[in-house]
Amino acid sequence: MKQNITLSLDKELLHKARILAATRETSVSRLLADELRRIVQEAESYERVMEEALTEIQTGFHLGGRPAFRDQLHER
**Tens of pLDDT, residues 7-51:** 999 999 999 999 999 999 999 999 999 999 999 999 999 999 999
At 62, is the pLDDT very low, low, confident or very high (cuts 50, 70, 90)? confident
At 76, is the pLDDT very low, low, confident or very high (cuts 50, 70, 90)? low
The answer to whether residue 70 scores a pLDDT higher than 90 is no
Provide the residue type at 20 as one letter: L
- Please provide residue 10's backbone torsions phi and psi, each rounded to the nearest 5 degrees: -60, 140
Q: What is the DSSP string of 12-44?
A: HHHHHHHHHHHHTTS-HHHHHHHHHHHHHHHHH
Which contiguous run of DSSP H or E holds residue 69?
none
Domain ranges for the chain, please list them.
Answer: 11-59
User: Which residue has better confidence, 3 or 70?
Assistant: 3
